[in-house]
Amino acid sequence: MAKKGLRAWVKENWVDIANKKSDGSYPKCGRSGGEKRKNYPKCVPAAKAAGMSKGQKKTAVARKNKAEAGGRRADKKPNRAATLASGGLAVRGYGIANR
């Protein structure tokens, strides 16, 4: 994976795939004011969310919820959960078995 600077990372449009809006889009990551959401947020760049299947999104959210159910880390930061189960290309069908 190519290394990106912090500026490029901040400019990416991060969305919460755990809380789909009624119009089918995803809300931006982060909450404003006293906003409540049904699920704990699972944030990914919008480009990555667009490339994920419905099943991949569902399992990514399940992994995040499972990680959060185990309790917060000692430093009070959110628990990290992998977005794709086995690291990317193999999940999308480009693994060794498909060659």
**For 33-75, how does the pLDDT look when each residue is reduced to its tens digit (9 = 90+)?**
887 877 888 999 999 999 999 999 999 999 888 888 877 666 7
Helix (H, G, I), strand (E, B) or coil at 31: coil
Tell me what pLDDT residue 48 has: 92
Tell me what pLDDT residue 58 has: 92
Compute the mean pLDDT over every residue in the chain, rounded to the nearest whole number: 80
* All structural domains of the chain with their residue ranges: 6-98
pTM summary value: 0.69
Cβ neighbours of residue 72 under 8 Å, at least 6 residues apart? 78, 79
10-38 pLDDT, tens digit per residue, is 788 999 999 999 999 999 988 778 878 77
Helix (H, G, I), strand (E, B) or coil at 3: coil
